[in-house]
Chains A and B, each alone.
Chain A
Amino acid sequence: MAIRVKSPGLLTTVQDTGRFGEYAIGMPPSGAMDVFSYQVGNYLVGNDDGAAGLEITYFGPELEFTEDAVIAVTGAEMPSKINGEEAPTWETLQVSEGDVLSFDYLKNGARSYLAVAGGIDAPVFMHSRSTYTLIGLGGHEGRALQEGDELQLGEARNGEAQIGKRVEDRHIPTYTKETELRVIIGLASYRLTEESMKEFLNVEWTVTPDADRVGYRYRGGELGFVEREQPAGAGSDPANVVDFGYPIGSIQVPGGVEPIVLMNDAVTGGGYATIGTVISADRDRLAQSKTNDKTRFRSIGLQEALEAREDRRKRLAEIRDALA
């Protein structure tokens, strides 16, 4: 054992890059919601890509280290403390046996990530350690951490050499209460009226309390569907379609009043019309938005989405090289 959970926080789960390649059986990828912060955490402690860490949501846990370890906290602006003393985030730290890591109140953002040299050694289930709580699989016993849980660590590669390394300020994201998310309009967007599509892109939406690893729900506008005789198999509601697959990041609008962006633990398909998809590079920032924050959706083309993806890849590579 290496980490004892003194208190679990609101929702703390073991996550890695995710469980890919199983979408066709209805298995969502799970994995870290803010990939950027999660990856940088692994770079800081010298882990290989894909090592499992903890995703800490809204309200932090209290974790006691029962052996020396090398750690880093990234992500949300949620000050971390070691034995009650404020400790820097986005920086590699040494902790000793008996040290307690805790967190102050969340200031900005929504999710912090704890990386530990060697990674959290939860059992691998279908090639991933990510927790998928709906079915109760992966991670630590398929669930969020609870008081008294004990976590094992993997073999650390080169932790000590990393101590004191820090991510350059220019690479540390700042989170605000307003987020702009870039979307590629498509999928079944033909179901929305032209005016409603304009409204969708113009309205400032508010994140509702239903904002979690399954999806983010928004309020603020009212959208209408093109009238049609519902096709065979779709069901009678105008928001219904013949059940089809939902991409990660896809946006659906059941009832016209509550757009939902599906995230890492989402359902993989269903019968609601989808109108577009939040691009992968912007889902990091989506994961750092929270209830009552404001969000706007901006329509872009595939080229810009691919450029944003490439920018993020380059930026992560630059950070990794600087910390190596």
Chain B
Amino acid sequence: MNANVETGLPEARYTYGGDEFVFVELAEAMSLKVNFRAMAITNRLREENVEGVMDICPSNASYMVRIDPDVLHPDGLISRLKEIDEEVGDVKGYELQTRVVDVPVMMEDPWTHEALMRFRDRHQDPDATDLEYSARINGYDSKDDFIAALLGSPWLITMIGFVPGLPWCYQLVPPEEQVEVPKYVRPRTFTPERAFGFGGGFAVVYSVQGAGGYQLYGLAPAPVLDVKQRLTDFEDSIVFPKPGDVWNYRGVDREEFDEIRASVEDGSFEYRKKDFTFHADRALEDPHAYNKEILGVLYGD
């Protein structure tokens, strides 16, 4: 594969997803930079309001556009996308108007524990919990150290999908610190709603109960999907996460978990969140220093 000198990333692959989709794989490997490119390209396409474009779906290291080919020929879109790709280039100086969000999660909660124990026969290591297994294969001395790493640095929402509202989250840490785990050998037939899981290089919050193959670590008390739009955070959309959001998973104990659940039930819950201008360069150059600043924005007065 030819490397593109400017971005240091491989050439993008443009292909047709049947007659109604154009699929663009920017890179086979995940990285922060490739996700910034996917967001920058799709944001620019959205701003252009191209007639015949029906859906614009940024994803981790790729993106997809659904078109009405009776209005817009796929090749016409592809040539415009190639121009945008060049304009975006290596995302130097890329800024994203976003928000930073506090997302409570109770690790090792009783509900996901019960679920993962039910499906040990589908797991790589039936004698360990998902957390113990993940900590070990990622070289951590204990599962507590592993949990501390997951809860210690914020995450970027790099894709939404699978089912409505499910966020893929990629941690804002240098490549050598990225956690990576396999999915279950065979997927579970049950995952609790709001389970906090991990697969490949991504953390997720399952938006609904259902099948799933990610390692299970905990449970979030607050929803990411609210079809009835009862909560303030869901006034504009049934889905809370947005691509480009910066989330900090914060560990909570059972007491706080129950308090948050009660406020979700009575409709008063609201995520703690702050508007934020995200500078891609700083996240790439010195993520730990930048993360401190991000958390200061979120939790400072």
Contact = CB atoms under 8 A, between A and B. Distances in A.
B239 A234 contact: no
Interface residues of B, number: 61
Contacts, number: 193
Nearest to A276: B18
B168 interface: yes
A320 to B, nearest CB: 16
A22 B163 CA distance: 11
Interface string A213-240: 0000000000000000001111111001
A247 interface: yes
Nearest to B227: A137
Contacts of A26: 160-166, 207, 239
Interface string B229-262: 0000000011100010000000000000000000
A243 B200 contact: yes
Contacts of A231: 27-30
Contacts of A242: 27-30, 60-62, 200-201
B161 A268 contact: yes
Contacts of B202: 233, 243
Given A134-B208, A268-B162, A234 B16 contact: no
A319 to B, nearest CB: 18
Contacts of A247: 17-18, 20-21, 23, 64, 66
A249 B18 contact: yes
B70 A234 contact: no
B30 A234 contact: yes
A21 B159 contact: no
A136 B228 CA distance: 11
Most buried by A among B28, B181, B202: B28
A186 B27 CA distance: 15
A267 B227 contact: no
Interface stretch (B49-57, B92-100, B147-155): B49-57
B287 interface: no
Given A267-B161, A269-B159, A136 B227 contact: yes
A1 B178 CA distance: 58
B170 interface: yes
Nearest to B163: A26
A249 to B, nearest CB: 5
Contact of B28 (A137, A234, A237, A277): A234
Given A243-B202, A267-B163, A268-B161, A250 B28 contact: no
B15 interface: yes
Interface in B1-27: 13, 15-21, 23, 25, 27
Interface residues of A, number: 53
Interface in B174-223: 175, 178, 180-183, 199-202, 207-208, 210
A324 interface: no
B182 A244 contact: no
Interface stretch (A88-96, A164-172, A302-310): A302-310
B19 A184 contact: yes
Nearest to B63: A245
Given A23-B55, A25-B160, A235-B182, A280 B60 contact: no
Contacts of B70: 309, 313
Contacts of A305: 16, 18-19
A242 B30 CA distance: 6
Contact of A240 (B175, B183, B238): B183
A254 to B, nearest CB: 9
A70 interface: no
Contacts of B201: 232-235, 242
Contacts of B104: none
Contact of B163 (A134, A184, A187): A134
Contacts of B60: 233, 242-244
Contact of A236 (B57, B168, B175, B182): B182
A26 B160 CA distance: 6
B59 interface: yes
Contact of A244 (B25, B55, B181, B207): B25
B208 A135 contact: yes
A188 interface: yes
Given A187-B15, A232-B201, A233-B180, A245 B23 contact: yes
Contact of A248 (B20, B28, B62, B199): B20
A278 interface: yes
A154 interface: no
11 contacts: A24-B55, A26-B160, A26-B207, A126-B238, A135-B164, A186-B17, A190-B13, A232-B180, A245-B23, A248-B21, A281-B19
Interface of A: 20-27, 126, 134-137, 183-184, 186-190, 231-237, 240-245, 247-250, 267-271, 277-281, 302, 305-306, 308-309, 313
Given A186-B16, A247-B64, 19 more contacts: A22-B55, A22-B164, A184-B16, A232-B31, A233-B30, A233-B61, A233-B178, A235-B181, A242-B29, A244-B25, A245-B63, A247-B23, A267-B161, A268-B57, A270-B161, A278-B18, A302-B16, A305-B19, A309-B19
